[in-house]
C-alpha cells in the first residue's frame, strides 16, 4: 500500500513523498488552473510527475528509491531548486535527453492544448423586406419594400484575451477557410491599459510586440468570415524555460526586429519563433505535417497564415532546419545560441504579468512555476 508521507507546497507545485514497504519516493504535483470567460479560475487539475511511479529519471537526472525519509526530503529540496532554475522541463520530461517526435514532447501532461470559443457580439443593420401596398413604398415593377433596423449577432475574437490566455501561452489563430495554416504568436499579458502579443510579422517585418487589437486589425483577422475564425491555446503546465529568460529573449528579439527580411516558411516562420522563445525548440509542427507538399518547391509564393509570403531560396530538402525529431536538451542549447537577452521595463512587465497569474492554495516559498 502506498501512503502519503508528506506534502510541501511552493507556489502552485508540491513535492510529495510516499512510502511503500519502507521505500520512499518523491513525486511532483502541479496545480494548473484554466481561466474561464469571467476572468476567474476554475477547473483545477493536478498533474503528478513522473507519470510512471517507478521511473528511474527526473528528466535528464537520476531518480532514486530511498530507504529513509531524510534522503527523500533531500531529493525533494533538490527538485525544488532545479525547478527554480533555467530548465524546468529538463527535470520533468523523461524523454528530455532522447530524440523523439515534437508531438511526444508538446502534449499533456506537459502542455495543455485548448480551443478557445469565439464571443458573441450584437450589432444593428438595415434590412429590406417585401410588404403590403398600404405600408410600403412603391417601386418600379410593382414591388413594395420596407427598410427596417434590426439586431443581429456574430462571432468575434475575444475582446479581453486575459480571460482566456495566460502570459507566455502560445496562441494559434486562423482566419481563412482556404488554408489549413495558423498564424502563431505569444500572449504577454496586460499592462498600460492594453493586452500585448509578440509575433513574427509574416510580411518580412521581423519580431514585434503589438497590442491585441492592433494584432487582429493589422493582420486582417477581424475582417474574415466568422466561420473561419479559430483560436487554439498551448499552455505549458511545466515551463520549458524560466520565465525570466523567456521575457528577456522576447524583449531582445522585438527590440532588434529580429529576422527582418529573413523569413522562411520552411525554417524560420512564426511558429518556429514562438516555439523557440517559449519552449526552447526550433521546430514547426505545421511544417512537419505539410513536409511532403513543401519538399519539391525550391521557390514559391505561399498563402500562409493569411499572408502572402516570399520564401528565401534554400535547398529543397532542407525543411524544419533539417530535423524530423528533436532532443529537448539539445534544442535548448541551440536556441540559446541564436537568441540574446535584454532586461528593461518591457521584460519586467512580462515577468510581472506571468508571476501575477500564478495562483496556489498556499504561499510558502518563492518557486514560481505555472
What tens digit of pLDDT does each residue of 270-296 get? 999 999 999 999 999 999 998 877 766
Q: What is the rounded CA–CA span in Å between residue 136 and residue 76?
A: 80
- Count the residues in the chain: 370
pTM score, whole prediction: 0.83
Q: What is the rounded CA–CA span in Å between residue 303 and residue 37?
A: 33
Res. 70: pLDDT tops 90: yes
Q: How many CB atoms lie within 10 A of CB 133?
A: 8
C-alpha cell at 100: 523523439
Q: What are phi and psi of 252, to 5 degrees?
A: -60, -50
Per-residue confidence (pLDDT) for residue 150, from 0 to 100: 83
Cβ(82)–Cβ(369) below 8 Å:
no
Residue with cell 516555439: 275
C-alpha cell at 113: 492544448
Work out the average pLDDT over 333-342: 95
Strand-pairing partners, residue 154, are 121
pLDDT (tens digit, 9 = 90+) per residue, 35-67?
654 444 455 788 999 988 888 999 999 999 999
C-alpha cell at 132: 403590403
Q: What is the rounded CA–CA span in Å between residue 251 and residue 265?
A: 23
Q: Put residue 269 in one of left, alpha, beta given phi > 0 → left and psi -120 to 50 → alpha.
A: beta
Nearest to 279, CA basis, from 103, 32, 54? 103
Amino acid at each position: 500500500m502506498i501512503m502519503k508521507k508528506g506534502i510541501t507546497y511552493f507556489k502552485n507545485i508540491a513535492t510529495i513523498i510516499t512510502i511503500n514497504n519502507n521505500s520512499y519516493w518523491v513525486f511532483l504535483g502541479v496545480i494548473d488552473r484554466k481561466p474561464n470567460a469571467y476572468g476567474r479560475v476554475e477547473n483545477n487539475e493536478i498533474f503528478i510527475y513522473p507519470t510512471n511511479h517507478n521511473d528511474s529519471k527526473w528528466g535528464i537526472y537520476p531518480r532514486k528509491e530511498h530507504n529513509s525519509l531524510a534522503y527523500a526530503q533531500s531529493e525533494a529540496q533538490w527538485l525544488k531548486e532545479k525547478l527554480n532554475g533555467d530548465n524546468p522541463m529538463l527535470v520533468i520530461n523523461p524523454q528530455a535527453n532522447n530524440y523523439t517526435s515534437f508531438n511526444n514532447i508538446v502534449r499533456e501532461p506537459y502542455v495543455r492544448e485548448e480551443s478557445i470559443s469565439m464571443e458573441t457580439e450584437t450589432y444593428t443593420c438595415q434590412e429590406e423586406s417585401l410588404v403590403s401596398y398600404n405600408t410600403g413604398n412603391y417601386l418600379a415593377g410593382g414591388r413594395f419594400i420596407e427598410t427596417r433596423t434590426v439586431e443581429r449577432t456574430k462571432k468575434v475574437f475575444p475582446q479581453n484575451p486575459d480571460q482566456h490566455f495566460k502570459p507566455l501561452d502560445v496562441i494559434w489563430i486562423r482566419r481563412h477557410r482556404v488554408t489549413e495554416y495558423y498564424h502563431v504568436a505569444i500572449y504577454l499579458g496586460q499592462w498600460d491599459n492594453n493586452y500585448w502579443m509578440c509575433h513574427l510579422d509574416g510580411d518580412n517585418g521581423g519580431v514585434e510586440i503589438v497590442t491585441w487589437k492592433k494584432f487582429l486589425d493589422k493582420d486582417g483577422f477581424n475582417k474574415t468570415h466568422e466561420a473561419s475564425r479559430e483560436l487554439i491555446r498551448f499552455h505549458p503546465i511545466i515551463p520549458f524555460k524560466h520565465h525570466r529568460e523567456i521575457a528577456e529573449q522576447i524583449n531582445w528579439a522585438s527590440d532588434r526586429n529580429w529576422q527582418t527580411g529573413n523569413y522562411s516558411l520552411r525554417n524560420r516562420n512564426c511558429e518556429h519563433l514562438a516555439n523557440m522563445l517559449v519552449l526552447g525548440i526550433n521546430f514547426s509542427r505545421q511544417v512537419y505535417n505539410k513536409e511532403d507538399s513543401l519538399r519539391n518547391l525550391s521557390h514559391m509564393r505561399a498563402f500562409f497564415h493569411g499572408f502572402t509570403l516570399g520564401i528565401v531560396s534554400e535547398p529543397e530538402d532542407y525543411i524544419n532546419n533539417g530535423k524530423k525529431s528533436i532532443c529537448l536538451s539539445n534544442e535548448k542549447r541551440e536556441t540559446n545560441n541564436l537568441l540574446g537577452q535584454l532586461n528593461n521595463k518591457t521584460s519586467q512587465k512580462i515577468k510581472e504579468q506571468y508571476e501575477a497569474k500564478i495562483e496556489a492554495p498556499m504561499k510558502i516559498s518563492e518557486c514560481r512555476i505555472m
